[in-house]
Amino acid sequence: MHALVRPPSDAIARAIVREPVRTPDPTQARVEHRAYTDALRKLGVHVVALPEAPDLPDACFVEDQAVVRGEVAVIARSGHPARRAEAAAIADALVAYARVVHMPAPATLDGGDVLVCGRTLHVGLSKRTNAHGVAFLAEVFGPLGFTVAPIPVPGSELHLQGVCSALDDETVLLAEGTVPADRFTGAQRVLITPRREAYAANTVAVGGAVLVAEGYPETARVLEDAGFAVVPLRMDALAAADGSLTCLSIRW
C-alpha cells in the first residue's frame, strides 16, 4: 500500500472548522501527524511525504484532494473553494503513480466522502460533494470495474467518513444511528460502534491492523472482537481542525 501525506504547518491554527471550539495547536498537530506516518510505515506502508504547505491551513488533510483506484487518480474539485489551491501539489505527486484526471466544474467532491469497500465506491452526498461529483467518479471508475453508490450524509456531518470507514474489502465500521447500514451495498458486513464514539468510526485499516483514535474503548472492543489489531493514535490538535485519521492520507 502507498500513502501520500503532507505534514501540517503553523497555518493549521487557521484551519476551516465548523464550530471553532479551540485553536488547533501546530506543534501538537505535527506530533500527531508524525505518530500517524510512523504507524503506517511500521505496518509496511510506503509513505510518500510532501513538504509542509505554510500558506494552506488545511493541506495536511490530503484525502479530500484525490481518489486513486486502479492506476487512475481523480483530482477532486474541493467542496470548499478555499481548499482548491491544495490540489496542484497533489496532482504533481500522483503523476508518478497514476494517470491523473481533473474533476471539472460544476462537480465538487471531497475525498473524505469516498468510502472504498472492495470494488464499490460509496460516495457521500454532503455539503462538500454534489451529484456532479458523484457522476464524475462513476464516469471515470465505472469502466474500470468499480460501482459508485451514492449515500446521503446527515447534515451534522462534514463527510461520509466522519461516521464510518472500511476495514477491509468486505467490512465497514459504522456509527449507529447515522447512515443506515443497508446503504453499504458493497460490504458483506457492517460492524456497529456506539453513536457517542462516532469519531472513532473513522479508521485506517492496513491488513489486519486498524489505526483508531485513542480514547474510544467501545470501538476498540468492537474491532478486537472482530479479530482486528487496534493501533490507537492520539487525535487532539488534528481533531480540533475537524480532521480525522482517513483524511491524513491518500491510500492506494
In degrees and rounded to multiples of 5, residue 107 shows phi and psi of -65, 145
Q: Does 61 bind ligand CIR (CB under 6 A)?
A: yes
In angstroms, give the least distance from the CB of 119 to ligand CIR.
22
Place of cell 491488513: 207
The H-or-E segment that residue 211 falls in is strand 209-213
Q: Which of residues 150-189 bind ligand CIR (CB under 6 A)?
A: 159
x/- contact string, 186-225, with ligand CIR (CB under 6 A)? ----------------------------------------
Q: Does 25 bind ligand CIR (CB under 6 A)?
A: no
CB-based closest residue to ligand CIR: 112
The reply to whether 159 belongs to the active site is yes
Q: Does 247 bind ligand CIR (CB under 6 A)?
A: yes
d(CA 175, CA 63): 20
d(CA 160, CA 219): 18
The reply to whether 60 belongs to the active site is no
C-beta separation of 178 from 233 below 8 A: no
- Sign of the C-alpha dihedral computed for residues 159, 84, 167 and 140 taken in this order: positive
d(CA 109, CA 92): 19
Q: Which of residues 63-122 bind ligand CIR (CB under 6 A)?
A: 63-64, 80, 83, 112
Q: Which three cell numbers stand for residue 204?
A: 485506517
Q: Does 13 bind ligand CIR (CB under 6 A)?
A: no
Q: Which of residues 227-246 bind ligand CIR (CB under 6 A)?
A: 241-244, 246
- Which residues carry out catalysis? 159, 247
